[in-house]
Structure 1
């Protein structure tokens, strides 16, 4: 387990999946990241790569050849190598190998950096094309936060703060796949959305193209919060596992689940990213706690 620390934060990261596993604030004396209790959901904050969401029949094609991946890809289940480690920063790396090429036929290098800055954890993704041809991929985050955060509060005492007025239309799912339909969660643009479990009866809320690109989890009963900022990410999911589940995920994505239908060529997948040989994709999001 990797341990990072500054004057405000104590953060732990597992080499398995390069997964954040703890975010503790020394000032508030609160743990903000979900503890991965398998009774509800046995992960903390998996990295989604090289796909986000579910593939039709867990299948995609590359030049007519079928490949198979589970939901959210394989990176979350692979061990990363630590390539940099100082007191308040770590960089972990995953490279293509014979095992990865059985399910994803490209050479790549995926580096994930975690940097502590005051009360924030800055997370950067870097995908490098080390192949001799164009590669296609998606990448996303899936951190889960404790809701309720403090004793004596309930899930319904919390709300989402979008940092400004947003058109709160969610992409609807048909099972794990996009249905092609939208549902409006508010009659007009809104800055906040009250949390309750019926919101998630159709699975995750999925927002596309938010203007402010941030979501905070706040409470009506105390001042503590979690804020996730995700500049340039085109999608963000908000998810909990069902009634009584004591966590909420805020998930910035470059990519999205397949739409209802048949498996497609990876290059034709909705919202897919592409990289030419030697090119590098970078994206950053950050988690602020208080």
Structure 2
């Protein structure tokens, strides 16, 4: 099941499975800004990463000395969300803990995903609510893939501030201590597939809170992510898309002890409290 919201400038379609954004277009335009999900390259569009981001060591963790199993990026992206509210330009979808989730994540929670159109901007709001009695550890992140219609090398990413990127290297899908430096030229990163030969560019810290996608020297999209301290940039080799991934958290480090409460980058949410994280996509 899907829901489409719209205003005078944009339309957005959200799949209730995973509360996943699957389409973003200008009104009266056939140009699609979200990746089509062709499984030859990657069968997703914009999955939500919860209750973890990235990979756990051995796909497992411990909580109160009990072992649990969680696959890469968690389970929210594969579960059906309930529609709890919608208007022409706004929709709220909700996932609550149940017997299935508690086998892998023993906490009472509600995850609300709120999509709102405002002029030429789509605002995406993640709301995590701890409905249990214990402190709840979690990570959360976005994984939107943007369609690139021209040759990949004609695109670049324009960062808000001038900085060198410190990218953390993966080893068996876990974060190693190895890093590589990527120097921006006038705040800009030209896109080449060689950047992604060793998987994603993983940034534990990023000064910029806005990135533009630039096509043939012309900005086409603003991506703003003020609430997210960590970031990933990814594509598949030869695939016509780029993922801009705002994260709160990231994969396990190699020397993790497996205790979810001590996981690097984890959030700890008190009982009956909530946290919100917002990002936005502006079509230029």
TM bucket, shorter chain:
over 0.9
Which deviates more from structure 2 when the two are superposed, residues 8-17 or residues 161-170?
Answer: 161-170
Instruction: Give matches, 1:229-240, under 5 Å.
Output: 229-240=224-235
1:4 aligns with 2:5: yes
Instruction: After TM superposition, give the deviation of residue 180 of structure 1 in Å.
Output: 1.5
Instruction: After TM superposition, give the deviation of residue 175 of structure 1 in Å.
Output: 2.9
1:283 aligns with 2:283: no
Deviations 1:138-195 (A, max 9, x none): 0000000012x3xxx3000000101221221111111311012211011x78510000
For the 8 Å contact 1:224–1:289, the answer to whether it is kept is no
For the 8 Å contact 2:212–2:219, the answer to whether it is kept is no
Of 221, 238, 243, the residue aligned with 1:226 is 221
Which deviates more from structure 2 when the two are superposed, residues 203-212 or residues 278-287?
Answer: 203-212
1:144 aligns with 2:139: no
Instruction: Give matches, 1:170-185, under 5 Å.
Output: 170-185=167-182
For the 8 Å contact 1:166–1:190, the answer to whether it is kept is no
Change in 2 beyond 3 A, CA 1:280/1:132: same
Three-state SS of the structure 2 residue aligned to 1:11 is strand
Three-state SS of the structure 2 residue aligned to 1:100 is helix
Report the TM-score, using the length of structure 1 for normalisation: 0.94
Q: Distance in 2 between matches of 1:27 and 1:260?
A: 49
Instruction: Give matches, 1:18-33, under 5 Å.
Output: 18-26=19-27, 29-33=30-34
Q: Which runs of 5+ in 2 are unaligned?
A: none
Change in 2 beyond 3 A, CA 1:63/1:190: farther
- Aligned residue number for residue 56 of structure 2: 55
Moved over 3 A (4+): none
Instruction: Give matches, 1:99-178, under 5 Å.
Output: 99-147=100-148, 149=149, 153-178=150-175
For the 8 Å contact 2:107–2:136, the answer to whether it is kept is yes
Deviations 1:211-268 (A, max 9, x none): 22111111225x35122100031111000012x1111100000010011245511001
CA RMSD in angstroms, aligned pairs only: 1.4
Q: Distance in 1 between matches of 2:124 and 2:54?
A: 20
- Aligned residue number for residue 260 of structure 1: 254
For the 8 Å contact 1:160–1:215, the answer to whether it is kept is yes
Q: Distance in 2 between matches of 1:208 and 1:271?
A: 9
Q: Distance in 2 between matches of 1:210 and 1:102?
A: 35
Report the TM-score, using the length of structure 2 for normalisation: 0.96
Q: Which runs of 5+ in 1 are unaligned?
A: none
For the 8 Å contact 2:227–2:279, the answer to whether it is kept is no
Instruction: Give matches, 1:59-78, under 5 Å.
Output: 59-78=60-79
